[in-house]
Amino acid sequence: MQWKIDLEKVVRINSYTQNKRGVDAVGEVFAAWLEALGYRTDRHRRELIGDHLHFVSPKSERREKILLLGHLDTVFPAGVFDEWREDDEWVYGPGVCDMKGGNVVALEALRAIYDRYGKIEDIDVLFVSDEETGSDDSKILSAELAKQYDKCFVFEAAGPDMEVVVGRKGIGTFEITIEGIAAHAGTSYAKGADANLEAAMKLQKLVAMTDLGKGSTVNVGKIEGGIGANTISPQAKLLLELRYADHREKERLMAGLDEAVRMSYVDGTKAMLGGSIQRDVMEPNAWQTTLIDAMERISGQRLLTEKRGGVSDANIIASSGVVTLDGLGPYGDGDHTPKERALKKSFDERIDLMTKVLLHHQEHGVIE
């Protein structure tokens, strides 16, 4: 199985996001494989993280433009989880499902096209280097490149029943900095303005915005503040995350966040807000349904769908208006842990699906 040989090669290279040398080494391996299929590599060089790689195919005027999207980085530093092993059903190692395995699925489908026609047109590939830390650097590039494409396939792991992902929550990370007034807690208590108390009041207001029925959560994950037990706290900070399943909930949460920052529950305190929406929501839509129907007809496979609370770079491309499907990699579990694994038979299923779909695109110009 060629996919397994190639996957082992890249999994054995540590590509922790902050390991620029390792991430670039994985990128070089994929570049060699894709350039052998006629791709041109546009390298977006970075000093502190791995380079982002945009692999560009020859263009025609008669086909819709397709983007295959993945990431090169994984989550563990060198020496923590570097193994590769397999048994009869599974392969194990960092990135086997998240998402070196998905990248290899895309590669194998493209090889099948090249073997059939001796060329590939109008199907480009983007591998970014910082997805596991939020795509803070690459998201601007991804959003800009997305304007060139009609459809995007993202090769994060499939669901347990080989589901395709049609929806992902949006996510924002924010920090509220609160300024109070320091005072001696024994002799001058009334002269102080307690930033810690203000933080506690704001925390309750924020968490109360959670609505699990609508898929919206607000989590204050970190609190810090104060000087010592005998001093009214002059400062405090709240680090929080918002997740939401649709744009209406995003607007509600952002309005509530603004109100919680603006309001002073303890006289004499004031607050400032930092942070941003990291990745906006990917909402299911009718264009996805049409694309899935076409993929089922082309491949002869039944494709189940699901929505996920976690985010991926699919959020970025979908937010740019491109018809986007995620979860087109192999099925696996244990990602972000030393138990990460991927199901061998799921590679064959996904490679078969994407080969048939992309061959149809080369023959007919569209996927419909």
Same domain? 55 vs 44 = yes
Residue 81 has pLDDT above 90, yes or no: yes
* pLDDT (average), residues 177-188: 98
Overall average pLDDT of the 74-79 stretch: 95
CA 109, distance to chain mean position in Å, is: 22
Residues 209 and 149 occupy one common structural domain: no
- Residues 217 and 330 both lie in one domain: no
pLDDT for residue 294 is more than 90: yes
Per-residue pLDDT tens over the stretch 39-67: 999 999 999 999 999 999 999 988 999 99
Query: Which H/E stretch holds residue 273?
Result: strand 270-279
Average pLDDT estimate for 330-355: 97
Q: What's residue 250's pLDDT?
A: 98
pTM: 0.92
- pLDDT value, residue 62: 87
Mean pLDDT of 96-102: 98
- Is residue 299 very low, low, confident or very high in pLDDT (cuts 50, 70, 90)? very high
SS3 letters across 156-188: CCECCCCCEEEEECEEEEEEEEEECECEECCCC
Same domain, 144 and 177: no
End position of a domain, from candidates 248, 279, 310: 279
Are 222 and 76 members of one domain? no
Question: Mean pLDDT score of the chain, rounded to an integer?
Answer: 97
Mean pLDDT of 277-285: 96
Strands 341-343 and 332-333 turn out to be antiparallel
- The one-character DSSP state at 127 is E
Same domain, 229 and 337: no
Last residue of a domain, one of 252, 279, 306: 279
DSSP reduced 3-state for 55:
strand
Q: Which residue, 70, 62, 192, 189, is CA-closest to 125?
A: 70
222-247 per-position pLDDT tens digit: 999 999 999 999 999 999 999 999 99
Q: What is the pLDDT of residues 113-135, one digit of tens each?
A: 999 999 999 999 999 999 999 99
Cβ-based neighbours of 115, under 8 Å, separated by 6 or more: none
- Start-to-end C-alpha separation, the chain: 30
Check which CATH number belongs to the domain holding 290 and give it.
3.40.630.10
| 266 and 214 part of one domain | yes
Q: Is 103 helix (H, G, I), strand (E, B) or coil?
A: helix
Any idea what the CATH number is for the domain that residue 221 is in? 3.30.70.360
User: Is the same domain home to 311 and 250?
Assistant: no
User: Which of 279, 314, 347 corresponds to the end of one domain?
Assistant: 279
- The Cα-based distances of 169 to 144, 282, 348 in angstroms read 21, 6, 29
Q: Is the pLDDT of residue 1 over 90?
A: no
What are the distances in angstroms from CA 195 to CA 186, 227, 236, 258? 17, 11, 6, 18
- Residue of 281, 227, 294 whose CA lies nearest to 252: 281
Which helix or strand (DSSP H or E) is residue 67 part of? strand 66-71
Same structural domain, 310 and 182: no
One domain for residues 146 and 192: no
Q: Which two tokens stand for residue 107?
A: 């590669």
How many domains does the chain fold into?
2
Identify the residue whose tokens are 């589901």. Answer: 163
| Residue 198, pLDDT score | 98
pLDDT number for residue 225: 98
Q: 301 and 158: one domain? A: yes
Q: Write out the residue range of the structural domain in which residue 317 sits.
A: 2-168+281-364
Residue 11 sits in the same domain as residue 55: yes
